[in-house]
Every structure is written in C-alpha cells, then in structure tokens.
C-alpha cells in the first residue's frame, strides 16, 4: 500500500482559470491530471454539455480521477498515458479542444508517496518512475550508466555544476540502492562551501535523474506541438513550469507562434507572408504571489505562460 498525501493544492489556480476562461460546452484537456486540483476548477465551468479529458501515466491519478468524476456535472474521460502520446492520439481521433493545460513536473502525491523515491527528504528505493509499469527506473540509471553519460545527464537535466565529481563518486560507490545512500554520496562529492548554496545539495541531481527516468523533456518537445495542433481556433493553452529547462521550452514555443512578420525592418513591404498564430496571454509569465507561496511553499518556483490560438490548422 502506497503512503499518499490526501491534500492537493493546485498552483496558480485562480490565474489558470482566469487565463484559460473555460466556458459552458467547452472541451478541456488536462494533460497532467495529478491530484486533480486544476481539473476540478476548470470542470466547474463546463456544464452538462462540456467535456473534461484528463491524462496521466500514474495509476494513482486514475483512481483520483474516478473519485472526482462523480462530483462533476460535465462529461468526463480519462486516458492513462503520457501526455505527448495522449495528445497525438486525441488529434488522430478528430478531437479538438478549447482549452489545454500542462502542469509540468511532479505532483504532490508523487513527492509525498515516499516509497516511490522522488524525494531526497526520505529514505526509499531508487525508483522515480511516474509510470510504475515502465522498466527504466532510477536504480538502473545510477548503477548502469557510465560516468560520462551520468555527468552529461547531470549537466543537461540538472544544470549541476559538480556533475563530473558526482558522476565519478557514483561510479566508485556502486551499487547504490536507496535515496539516502545517493544523498550522502552527493554531499561528500560537492565541496563543503557549495553544499547548501542554492538549496539542498541533492536537489539538482534528483531532478536530473527524474527527468531522465521519465523522459520529461522529450515529452514536452513532442507534447507542445501536439497540444497546439489539438486546439481549435481561439482555443487557449497554458503551461506551468517549475524549472528553467521546461520554462524555456514553453516560452520559446509560444513566442515563436506569436511572432508575425520576420522580414528585415528596412524592407518596405512584407515578403515573408508570415502572420502570428498566437496571442500571448501572459507576457513574461505569471508567478505565484507571496501569499500563495506562504500557504504552499512548493509553488515558489512555478511560472505560468499562456496563449490563445488565432489560426485554424
């Protein structure tokens, strides 16, 4: 039996609802259902003719969705899948959405289910799988990837300054079985003055391994264009990111679609014929208020970006 948190606090919930503006009869796709906090708020506006489609690869999320669906007035549908595959399948099916939301990163239920090994605060088996049925887990990465590959992963996915030192230490200490074994190794590998500069010394390593286990950046690179294709004209998209690697991708994707003419400024007449596909709804992104962070510290690093689709596919 998994030990699971019972409370889920959706990040930037008022802002998400305000920007996405769900209306009666809309089709809303929640790409990362998690604890269902955002889905509930969005679904409350849909009425009996609206449709909430939720996705998640975590079986616990499917259980939570079943509990929520009975309380909603709108039609509901759940897909247990990663969001990139789910969005592509919906598009192929002919579904078109009025609202698409991506709440990226881990959910509270995953962090607080200590047995799953996502957190460096608890001692647990090295796992970190969002889908517990997939074969690749953190233990395999830590114990079988060569040091060069480990170091590259730590630099690219964790932006870890001491990637080489940590990878070398892992190589010498293997096999590693638990999160606390890994935490103690990281502490020893990082120079003492840097151990607590910018947060817990294991934070970046755990982020990098989790991203690698779950293919999170590849999911996002596939999922963003799939979500945009799924949107109907005047449909609204929002993405909540919790670290810079995700946020840069969402920012760049939406900015590229909001860009109109790209001709040189000295050209008297537009020759490229390009028009904007999107109108940005939150230039610069929206971050949580100090009051929200005080009530929910996990919201501190969140950034919300959103856009409205102007063109038809």
Three-state secondary structure call for residue 303: strand
> Which residues in the chain are classed under CATH 3.40.50.150?
13-103+216-309
pLDDT score at 7: 57
Cα–Cα–Cα angle for 292, 298, 299, nearest 5°?
Answer: 45
The rounded average pLDDT for each run of 10 residues, N- to C-terminus, in the chain (313 residues) is 56 97 98 96 98 96 95 97 98 98 82 83 95 97 98 97 98 98 96 81 96 97 98 98 96 95 76 85 95 94 97 76
Between CA 246 and CA 221 the distance in angstroms is 9
Class of domain 117-214 as given by CATH? mainly alpha
Nearest to 155 by CA among 217, 209, 215: 209
pLDDT value for 106: 76
What stretch(es) of the chain map to CATH 1.10.150.170? 117-214
Question: Is 60 in contact with 97 (CB distance < 8 Å)?
Answer: no
- What SS3 state is found at 160? coil
Superfamily of domain 13-103+216-309: Vaccinia Virus protein VP39 (3.40.50.150)
Pairing of strands 75-80, 51-56: parallel
Rg over alpha carbons for the chain, rounded to the nearest Å, is: 21
| Strand stretches in the chain, DSSP E | 27-30, 51-56, 75-80, 97-103, 231-241, 278-280, 303-309
Range list of β-strands (E), 154-251? 231-241
Tokens for 98? Answer: 């009025």
């Amino acid at each position: 039996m998994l030990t699971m948190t019972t409370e889920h606090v959706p990040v930037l919930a008022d802002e998400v609802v305000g920007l996405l503006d769900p209306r009666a009869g809309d089709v809303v796709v929640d790409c990362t259902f998690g604890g269902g906090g955002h889905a509930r708020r969005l679904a409350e506006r849909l009425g009996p003719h609206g449709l909430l489609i939720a996705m998640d690869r975590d079986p616990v999320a499917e259980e939570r969705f079943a509990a929520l669906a009975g309380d909603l007035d709108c039609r509901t549908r759940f897909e247990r899948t990663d969001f990139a595959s789910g969005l592509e399948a919906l598009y192929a099916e002919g579904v078109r959405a009025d609202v698409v939301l991506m709440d990226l990163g881990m959910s509270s239920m995953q962090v607080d289910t200590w047995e799953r090994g996502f957190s460096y605060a608890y001692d647990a088996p090295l796992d970190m799988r969002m889908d517990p049925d997939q074969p690749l887990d953190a233990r395999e990465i830590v114990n079988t990837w060569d040091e060069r590959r480990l170091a590259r992963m730590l630099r690219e996915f964790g932006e870890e300054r001491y990637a080489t030192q940590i990878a070398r230490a892992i190589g010498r200490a293997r096999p590693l079985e638990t999160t606390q074994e890994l935490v103690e190794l990281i502490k020893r590998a990082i120079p003492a003055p840097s151990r607590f500069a910018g947060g817990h010394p294991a934070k970046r390593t755990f982020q990098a391994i989790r991203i690698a286990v779950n293919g999170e950046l590849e999911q996002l690179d596939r999922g963003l264009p799939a979500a945009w294709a799924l949107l109907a004209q005047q449909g609204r998209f929002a993405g909540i990111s919790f670290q810079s690697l995700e946020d840069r991708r969402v920012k760049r994707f939406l900015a590229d679609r909001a860009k109109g003419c790209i001709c040189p400024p000295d050209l008297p007449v537009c020759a490229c014929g390009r028009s904007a596909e999107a109108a940005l709804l939150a230039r610069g992104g929206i971050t949580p208020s100090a009051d929200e962070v005080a009530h929910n510290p996990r919201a501190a690093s969140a950034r919300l970006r959103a856009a409205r689709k102007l063109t038809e596919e």
